[in-house]
Chain A
Amino acid sequence: MLAYGNGDDHAFTIIYERHKGALYRYLLRQCGNAEDARELFQDIWMNLIRARERYEVRAKFVTYLFRLAHNRLVDHYRRRARNPVQSNPSRNPGGEDDYLDLETLPGMDCDQVENRLHLKRLAERLLELIGQLPYAQREAFLLREEAGFSLEEIAEVTGVNAETAKSRLRYAVVKLRNALGGELGEER
């Protein structure tokens, strides 16, 4: 990014190619809408281009990039007057069943989890369940999976402390596991 700030446009191409997929999927799975994801994706990179000369190395670039994305997403939710928690409008927003319903979903038979085909189906189901997680928990999970962030990095990107980030990720993992079926024996 520093090289790009100094006028090397090839450097931008490198960082773009390196991070575009993870960032795009993070946005796509956070807002659940390809059109919005594309718009946000473009905004974030354009902001980055505009801020190139002010960029200073104070954190990993990828952390900086996802922090931009996090802030842009929050703005997006607020402007659309959409409560990010209410990813499923039929649920009781903010109520106790806001997350418990995930735990009551029928689990999958994971006896053959090593089976590739089964893993594919598991993946499809997982994406569906990720979309039903509360916003912050979904974000923590996606930052872990897509960007490979540690708890500390998730905390930095989302502007919370490490304990809060850990709490979010813990809830996400437990809910997803419970929803996918609590009998994934080899992990117990």
Chain B
Amino acid sequence: MSRRKRVDRELGRYLQRKSVLSRAYSETPGEEPPPELDATILAEARRAVRDRPRLVPTPFARNWVVPASLAAILVLTVGLVRFTFKETGEPVLPKTAPERRVESTLEEMRKRESVDTLGAVEPGDAGKPSAGQAPLERKGNATDPAVPVAQDTAAVKSDVVTDEPPAAAAVPLMKQRAAQDRPPARAQPGAASPPPRRTTTAAEIEEQATEGDQARAYERRSRDDQPTAGLAAALEAKKMSSKRAALTSADRPESLAQPEVIVANGIPALRLPDSLTAVIANTFPGFRVPDHRDLKEQWAYDPDTYPRFAAWGDFNGDDLIDVALILISRDAYKRVIFNQTAEGYVPALELGADVDSAQVQILEPQRLYVSVIPKGQRFTIQGVEKEDTVEFLGEYDAVNIGVFGSSQSIVFWQQGKYQVQSIDRL
């Protein structure tokens, strides 16, 4: 009998509880927590439920809560529809206002920066302006009476912030009409990824801004325009080589929508394509892309490895840049791969859902990471045992997803879907 078969037979006996190991283990001391610890925990459990009594609805409330909710939704919907459409049926969308952009204050720019450039999407951020748009255009700021519909939109969808232009932000409310009027966002070869939005000139910015503000403002411009030497020197913006290994191959199509790393004043930021930001906000409410606030522990900023929470490449061989992200919320995380399609980004694989469903508190998402394994590059993961060591050579770019010091998985595209191979490294 081969060694492997003997080992498997032994494991089988053990799992059937026929092994002497289980009998021996049952003889080990049955330690219990000390009584004072029992008392502390049980007292806390009692105190928790007594200090926060749950509201028990009255029979009347129980009977009427659903009909009342439906009625309220109906009234709100009718109201929104009336405000949303003009007589012609055209949706009232916030208009672009180049003049307003020119007059935008630097404070407004900074606000946009914190929301947009850093790629953070958080619940409760609705109504904040985003880069490239006048703040009032975004969600119907109350100070602009010209856009009442957008105000309503912000009120209803207060947990969602998209990074799309105003028309896209309004889509959930007017899906059918907007679909007719507006072609879907798509990444096309030859089209620069986020469309140029700003019209402010560098000279105007220089007149008004402090040096730091100039740097930030220029950094935003640099996404669309060629940088000038003077302002470029004020920035630390640079390309991140390690994360982009897959993207520098000669056969990669240019000008596809893809993430971009920007460093200003020593603070890195990951700018995601607008359609990806919108998909994250709509599909994973409550979750956000990590930002500079999260750069600690294993995620502490290192130009060679930033960002640990994101990786991108052509994972499925369609010449479009796909993105793997660690999304975080207050007490959970998700590891999601977004495929880029002609219609924009779509979530294609979600790992860690079991963790979220079990509501396990993730104290430190920084113990997770993702990275790219470029296609054609041999990649070796050492297992616990020699025979567990895996060598990987992908047909397409692949994703290396892992927990520092623990398990590691390679996610690769095969036979029209993602396959996951996990390797134990403990």
Known A-B contacts A6-B54, A126-B28, A145-B25; the reply to A46 vs B44 at CB < 8 A is yes
Chain A residues with CB under 8 Å of B40's CB are 42
Per DSSP, are chain A's interface residues mostly helix, strand or loop, or mixed? helix
CB of B22 within 8 A of CB of A21, answer no
Chain B residues with CB under 8 Å of A4's CB are 45, 49
Min CB gap B371→A, angstroms: 19
Interface size class of A (residues with CB under 8 A): 35 or more
Interface string of A49-66 (1 = CB under 8 A from B): 111101110110001100
Chain A residues with CB under 8 Å of B407's CB are 158-160, 164
CB of A24 within 8 A of CB of B10, answer no
CB of A119 within 8 A of CB of B37, answer no
Min CB gap A79→B, angstroms: 8
Known A-B contacts A75-B364, A171-B384; the reply to A55 vs B359 at CB < 8 A is yes
Interface string of A145-188 (1 = CB under 8 A from B): 10000010000101111011011111101101100100010110
CB of A159 within 8 A of CB of B10, answer no
Chain B residues with CB under 8 Å of A25's CB are 30-31
Min CB gap A125→B, angstroms: 8
CB of B45 within 8 A of CB of A187, answer no
Q: Does residue A91 face the partner (Cβ distance < 8 Å to B)? A: no
Chain B residues with CB under 8 Å of A187's CB are 10, 13, 18-20
The answer, among A7, A56, A75, A122, for a CB contact under 8 Å with B359, is A56
Chain B residues with CB under 8 Å of A13's CB are 42, 45
Chain B residues with CB under 8 Å of A12's CB are 42, 45-46, 49
Complex Cα gap A168–B357 (Å): 25
Q: Does residue B50 face the partner (Cβ distance < 8 Å to A)? A: yes
In the complex, residue of chain B having the shortest beta-carbon distance to the beta carbon of A45: B41
Min CB gap A145→B, angstroms: 5
Known A-B contacts A20-B32, A151-B15, A173-B19; the reply to A119 vs B27 at CB < 8 A is yes
CB of B11 within 8 A of CB of A58, answer no
Q: Does residue B422 face the partner (Cβ distance < 8 Å to A)? A: yes
Chain B residues with CB under 8 Å of A20's CB are 32-33, 38
CB of A177 within 8 A of CB of B10, answer yes
Known A-B contacts A59-B358, A71-B362, A110-B20; the reply to A167 vs B388 at CB < 8 A is yes
Complex Cα gap A174–B25 (Å): 15
In the complex, residue of chain A having the shortest beta-carbon distance to the beta carbon of B407: A160
CB of A173 within 8 A of CB of B385, answer no
Min CB gap A103→B, angstroms: 12
Q: Does residue B208 face the partner (Cβ distance < 8 Å to A)? A: no
Q: Does residue A78 face the partner (Cβ distance < 8 Å to B)? A: yes
In the complex, residue of chain B having the shortest beta-carbon distance to the beta carbon of A59: B358
The answer, among A38, A47, A78, for a CB contact under 8 Å with B364, is A78
CB of B424 within 8 A of CB of A167, answer yes
Known A-B contacts A21-B32, A68-B361, A78-B364; the reply to A164 vs B50 at CB < 8 A is no
Q: Does residue B24 face the partner (Cβ distance < 8 Å to A)? A: yes
Q: Does residue A85 face the partner (Cβ distance < 8 Å to B)? A: yes
Known A-B contacts A67-B355, A184-B20, A187-B20; the reply to A174 vs B422 at CB < 8 A is no
In the complex, residue of chain B having the shortest beta-carbon distance to the beta carbon of A125: B24
Q: Does residue B83 face the partner (Cβ distance < 8 Å to A)? A: no
The answer, among A127, A137, A177, for a CB contact under 8 Å with B28, is A127
CB of B28 within 8 A of CB of A173, answer no
Chain A residues with CB under 8 Å of B10's CB are 173-174, 177, 187
CB of B405 within 8 A of CB of A83, answer yes
CB of A74 within 8 A of CB of B355, answer no
The answer, among A71, A145, A180, for a CB contact under 8 Å with B360, is A71
Q: Does residue B391 face the partner (Cβ distance < 8 Å to A)? A: no
Q: Does residue B34 face the partner (Cβ distance < 8 Å to A)? A: yes
Chain A residues with CB under 8 Å of B26's CB are 123
In the complex, residue of chain B having the shortest beta-carbon distance to the beta carbon of A48: B45
Complex Cα gap A50–B11 (Å): 39
- Can you sample 24 A-B contacts with CB below 8 Å? A4-B45, A38-B34, A42-B40, A46-B41, A47-B361, A49-B45, A50-B48, A59-B354, A64-B360, A68-B361, A74-B367, A78-B367, A83-B405, A85-B426, A119-B24, A156-B354, A159-B352, A160-B407, A164-B407, A168-B384, A170-B8, A173-B21, A174-B10, A177-B21
Residues of A within 8 A of B (CB): 4, 6-9, 12-13, 16, 20-21, 24-25, 28, 38, 41-42, 45-47, 49-52, 54-56, 58-59, 63-64, 67-68, 71, 74-75, 77-78, 83-85, 96, 99, 110, 113, 119-120, 122-124, 126-127, 134-137, 144-145, 151, 156, 158-161, 163-164, 166-171, 173-174, 176-177, 180, 184, 186-187
- Other CB < 8 Å A-B pairs besides A122-B24, A174-B7, 14 of them? A16-B38, A20-B33, A21-B32, A38-B37, A49-B44, A54-B359, A83-B405, A122-B20, A134-B384, A136-B406, A145-B22, A173-B14, A177-B10, A187-B20
